[in-house]
Amino acid sequence: MEEDHLRLPATVLQRELMGADYLLHVSTPIGTLRFSRRNRGKVPEKDESLPIGFSPADVHLFHAETQHNLQMETDHV
């Protein structure tokens, strides 16, 4: 992760392969988030802890009416 990126500890709840990317559902201190991550060969396992690193400019937060939580979408994790 780059020095100027924000970091958030996360635990994998669910993963879905979406072509060349994985859609990960993770539990974090600010709630459950969902983000895409490039398939880099090592696949995060369910219940695995991983840091999420991102630039504030790359994050778009929105309220999900159907799930009643925040979701995060970013291309740079």
Full set of structural domains in the chain with CATH: 6-73 (2.40.50)
Residue 12 identity? V
- Contact assessment for residue 32 and residue 25, using Cβ atoms and an 8 Å cutoff: yes
- Contact assessment for residue 74 and residue 23, using Cβ atoms and an 8 Å cutoff: no
Give 19-28 pLDDT, tens digit per residue: 889 899 999 9
Other C-beta atoms closer than 10 Å to the C-beta of 50 total 16
Q: Using a cut of 0.85, tell me whether the model's pTM lies above it.
A: no
Quick one: DSSP state of residue 75? S
pLDDT of res. 70: 46
Give 28-63 pLDDT, tens digit per residue: 998 888 888 888 888 889 999 998 887 878 776 666
Give CA–CA dist 23/5, Å, rounded.
21
Measured in whole angstroms, the distance separating CA 37 from the mean position of its chain's CA atoms is: 7
